[in-house]
Amino acid sequence: MNILIIGGGGREHSVARSISISKNCNKIYILPGNAGTAELGENIEGDVNDFNLIKKTVLSNQISVVFVGPEDPIVNGIYDFFKKEQLLKDILIVAPGKRAAKLEGSKDFAKVFMKKNNIPTAKHSTFSKETIQQAYSFLDQMKPPYVLKADGLAAGKGVLILNTLNEAKKELDNMLLKNKFGKASNRVVIEEFLDGIELSCFVLTNGKDYKVLPFAKDYKKIGEADTGLNTGGMGAVSPVPFLDEKLKIKIEEKIIKPTVQGIQDERMDYIGFIFIGLIKVKDEPYVIEYNVRMGDPETEVVFPRIKSDILDFLLALETDNFPLLDLDIDSRAAATVMLVSGGYPLAYEKHIPISGLRDINQSIVFHAGTKTQDNKILTNGGRVLAITSFGETINKATDTCYKEIQKISFKGMSFRKDIGFDL
Ligand code: AMP
Ligand code: GLY
């Protein structure tokens, strides 16, 4: 069968690679894709939010399965669009419905959902311009550091952690009164600061049954030892060494099960992935956030560790067979290191030639911001390549990444040299 993957980053290259080795995969189309996905299938130029183009692509290429990578089209309702279109409604679209997507699209919605379903998370309150005085009083009663979150999608930049009350009030003004994050900060969630270590949990679900994928940990800061600006992600590892059986059971019982039950109780359409951002405080897990998709760069370590035929799992989602399938996971560790453009996450140059990719033989190269021009591979974004390796331990996996990275170069190339440092 033919598969369409929506998105063009390292996550989508990793998904394309896993699907390409499925026995049921005939041809893969990727919209818009990158230079890496072009080697696995056909890239279609266009915007991930152009639903009419997606419809045309599906119909003209006999697509049977659509896999949606990024949050934007999901939050914009791509699932509901398919279900309303006569010609698309029977096509399997791996993306939750618009109402479920509010778990990512609105922090307040997610907090209310967690509270209702008794899921451990930081205490919070939500405020708007009209209730800014109450927001100041709420901050007065809290201890530093102060956590402010724009309610809506803000490209991963909408969370601010402030050390002083003055800064917190100033940023609250910027968000509520000065549209710091546009419409996304019309409402602000203020919550208790949780002090602990973060990890990412991935669940594939049809809103009733679920499979827990390998856990991972990502590294969001640009600088070594987790310093400097936030990025889309500079690297990731899987599994997570500090996650023992006891904590895994707590996560499943206190978080995963009530989350899926809540989705079912509220009759949300859910065919796809839940990415639960967790933080371990002492020995207890808390939810930091929900995402309604896979993570990037976590997918570049999680999917390669799945030995089962991924397409079989996707095809089973809407059948009674789904609960009967067992995931086969590679016992080795995987690590990925992102190579980024000079200047990222601030301004950076694009269209710089990349050399050395053909010499990589011990790692998997996932393309993120790349494109092909005149048979050359050029940079085309901030995050350019994710280099993934396996190893008996995380250290061995990262060692291989760093050895292989020596062979790659492009002007301005930069990467974190300490992925996995804290484990
Ligand atoms: P989010 O966009 O909700 O994932 O938040 C971005 C980052 O902010 C998280 O990965 C955490 O590092 C941090 N963060 C968010 N909420 C809290 C919290 N309540 N306590 C401590 N850190 C937080
Ligand atoms: N790695 C974090 C994210 O995909 O949002």
Q: Where are the domains of the chain?
A: 2-97, 124-191, 197-324, 333-405
Interatomic CA distance for residues 225 and 33, integer angstroms: 32
> What is the mean predicted confidence (pLDDT) over 339-367?
97
Q: What is the pLDDT of residue 154?
A: 87
Which of 279, 263, 124 lies closest to 197, judged by CA?
A: 279
> What is the mean predicted confidence (pLDDT) over 77-83?
98
Interatomic CA distance for residues 278 and 129, integer angstroms: 30
Q: Is 288 in the pocket of ligand 1 (CB under 6 A)?
A: yes
Cα atoms found within 13 Å of the Cα of residue 134, Cβ hemisphere only: 11
**What confidence category does residue 237 fall into, taking pLDDT thresholds of 50, 70 and 90?**
very high
> What is the mean predicted confidence (pLDDT) over 40-68?
98
Q: Is 226 in the pocket of ligand 1 (CB under 6 A)?
A: no
Q: Is 193 in the pocket of ligand 1 (CB under 6 A)?
A: yes
Does pLDDT of 92 surpass 80?
A: yes
> What is the mean predicted confidence (pLDDT) over 211-235?
95
CA 103, chain centre distance (Å): 13
CA distances from 309 to 3, 185, 325 (A): 14, 41, 11
CATH topology of domain 333-405: Glycinamide Ribonucleotide Synthetase; Chain A, domain 4 (3.90.600)
For ligand 1, atom 6, name the residue with the nearest CA.
Answer: 159
Does pLDDT of 352 surpass 90?
A: yes
Interatomic CA distance for residues 65 and 377, integer angstroms: 29
Looking at residue 353, what DSSP letter applies?
Answer: B
Mutate to test the pocket of ligand 1, among 288, 289, 290, 291 (most ligand atoms within 8 A of CB): 288
Q: What is the pLDDT of residue 422?
A: 87
Q: What is the pLDDT of residue 157?
A: 81
Q: Is 71 in the pocket of ligand 2 (CB under 6 A)?
A: no
Mutate to test the pocket of ligand 1, among 195, 198, 279, 287 (most ligand atoms within 8 A of CB): 279
- How far, in Å, from the CA of 375 to the mean position of ligand 2? 31
> What is the mean predicted confidence (pLDDT) over 328-348?
97
User: For the domain bounded by 2-97, which CATH number is listed?
Assistant: 3.40.50.20
**More confident: 423 or 37:** 37
Q: What is the pLDDT of residue 324?
A: 97
**What confidence category does residue 78 fall into, taking pLDDT thresholds of 50, 70 and 90?**
very high
Task: Answer for the pair 145, 161: CB distance below 8 angstroms, yes or no.
Answer: yes
Q: What is the pLDDT of residue 156?
A: 75
Q: Is 312 in the pocket of ligand 1 (CB under 6 A)?
A: no
- How far, in Å, from the CA of 160 to the mean position of ligand 1? 8
Q: Decide which of 3.30.1490.20, 3.20.20.70, 1.10.10.10, 1.10.287.3510 is the CATH code for 124-191.
A: 3.30.1490.20
Q: What is the pLDDT of residue 84?
A: 98
Nearest ligand 1 atom to the CA of 195 is 21
- pLDDT tens for 125-178 read 999 999 999 999 999 999 999 999 999 998 878 899 999 999 999 999 999 999
> What is the mean predicted confidence (pLDDT) over 321-346?
97
CATH topology of domain 197-324: D-amino Acid Aminotransferase; Chain A, domain 1 (3.30.470)
- How far, in Å, from the CA of 12 to the mean position of ligand 1? 25
Q: What is the pLDDT of residue 12?
A: 98
- For the chain, give the mean pLDDT: 96
Q: What is the pLDDT of residue 82?
A: 98
Q: Is 150 in the pocket of ligand 1 (CB under 6 A)?
A: no
Q: Which residue's structure tokens are 């600088």?
A: 223
- pLDDT tens for 244-297 read 999 999 999 999 999 999 999 999 999 999 999 999 999 999 999 999 999 999
Mutate to test the pocket of ligand 1, among 71, 148, 159 (most ligand atoms within 8 A of CB): 159
Does pLDDT of 10 surpass 80?
A: yes
